[in-house]
Amino acid sequence: MIGVVVRESNVAQALEQIIEAESLGVPAVWLTTARAGRDGLTLLAAVAARTSQVKLGTSIMPTWPRHPVALAQQALVVDGLAPGRLRLGIGPAARDGMEQLVGATWRAPLQHLREYITILRALFQTGSVDFQGSHFRAWAQIPSPVEVPVFASALRPGAYELCGEVADGAISWMCPPSYLQAAAIPALQRGAEKGKRPVPKLVVHIPVCISQDLDAVRQAAREQVGLYTRLASYAAMFAEAGYEVSEGLTDSLIDDLVIFGDETAVAEGLQRLRVQGADEVIVHPLLTQDRDSSLRSAWRSVAIANG
């Protein structure tokens, strides 16, 4: 399945965009909750009441601001309105952002994430949890189990391995396809072997630009996602992928990372990701001068790619 992330910060406009995306044949929409911006799960509750088929995902909900049981309570509302349609993506987000936002005590983030996933999956799959760890304590029951898969963000091999061991899937972001094949997929497989379970899904969240103007594509990438080169964790991932980013996104990195071209070419590029190992794809539209046209073109390319 190939879906799209809706980036609109205005709640009413985001809701209307999702409704329109569903009408154009987009099978899944995802929302990001960034810093103190609008809450993705709360918005998905409104979306659930206004849509009928589109899958609803979070990519991602930061873990530090709320206890996993509190997040589960929110998820139960969305699942109650749209049974079987919610996919919960969580992650620790960037260290600087979380320390500034909520004063997070950033220690052992992978262990923190492991415990968070363990609590959520126990609640959703069995209806109860009794857990005491280094980061969290949880004792809770819900009326009955629910079908809400728990995905986690992954950037470097350790996170992919953790997802392979305990999550329902890993969600990448800004990872070049070559890096996913060389580092992420093997780590996901190692984690699954360690957990003695099938390899979970790899959900590839990737920038897309509907444009045949290479200069415009590169400019849009630098303006809209170039900030990630300034974050230490992403810079380390880019270095592992063979890219030096001290001066920002290079032309070669953009060409490797961003899927661009007309609607048909982008659809073909998205389908290639599936061949290269992606179980699902989240399209992150890079917007050119005509914002509304860029969005609708991206949605149409997703509909084409899904067949």
Domain count within the chain:
2
- What pTM does this model have? 0.95
pLDDT for position 243: 96
Least confident of 54-68, 99-113, 138-152, 276-290: 99-113
- Indicate if 74 and 119 belong to the same structural domain: yes
Q: Is residue 110 classed exposed, middle or buried when 0-12, 13-18 and 19+ CB atoms within 10 A define those classes?
A: middle
Amino acid symbol at 160? Y
Q: Would you say residue 68 lies in a domain?
A: yes
Residues 109 and 168 placed together within one structural domain of the fold: no
Average pLDDT for 68-86: 97
Quick one: 10 and 101 in the same domain? no
Q: Is 36 within a domain?
A: yes
Residue 55 included in any domain: yes
Is the pLDDT at 91 greater than 90? The verdict is yes
Average per-residue pLDDT for the chain: 94
Q: Which structural domain range is residue 172 located in?
A: 1-29+164-307
**Do 122 and 110 lie in a common domain?**
yes
User: Are 219 and 278 members of one domain?
Assistant: yes
Q: Give the rounded percent of residues in the chain with a pLDDT score beyond 70.
A: 100
225 plus 305 within the same structural domain: yes
Cβ–Cβ under 8 Å, residues 274 and 201:
no
pLDDT > 80? residue 101: no
Domain with residue 12: its CATH number is 3.20.20.30
One domain, residues 149 and 287: no
CA dist 165 → 117, 190, 195 (Å)? 11, 8, 5
Same domain, 170 and 21: yes
Whether residue 191 sits in one domain with residue 216: yes
Q: pLDDT tier at 255 (50, 70, 90 boundaries)?
A: very high
What mean pLDDT do residues 103-107 have?
Answer: 79
Same domain, 16 and 50: no
Please state the φ and ψ torsions of residue 301, each to the nearest 5 degrees: -65, -35
- Res 109 pLDDT > 80: yes
Determine, yes or no, domain membership for 115. Answer: yes
What average pLDDT does this structure show over 169-176?
Answer: 97
Mark whether 180 and 238 lie in a shared domain: yes
Q: Is the residue at 159 inside a domain? A: no
pLDDT of residue 291: 82
Q: Give yes or no: residues 284 and 228 share one domain.
A: yes
Residue 158 lies in a domain: no
pLDDT by residue (tens digit) across 191-218? 999 999 999 999 999 999 999 999 999 9
Q: What is the pLDDT of residue 293?
A: 86
- Domain boundary among the residues 153, 187, 210 is at 153
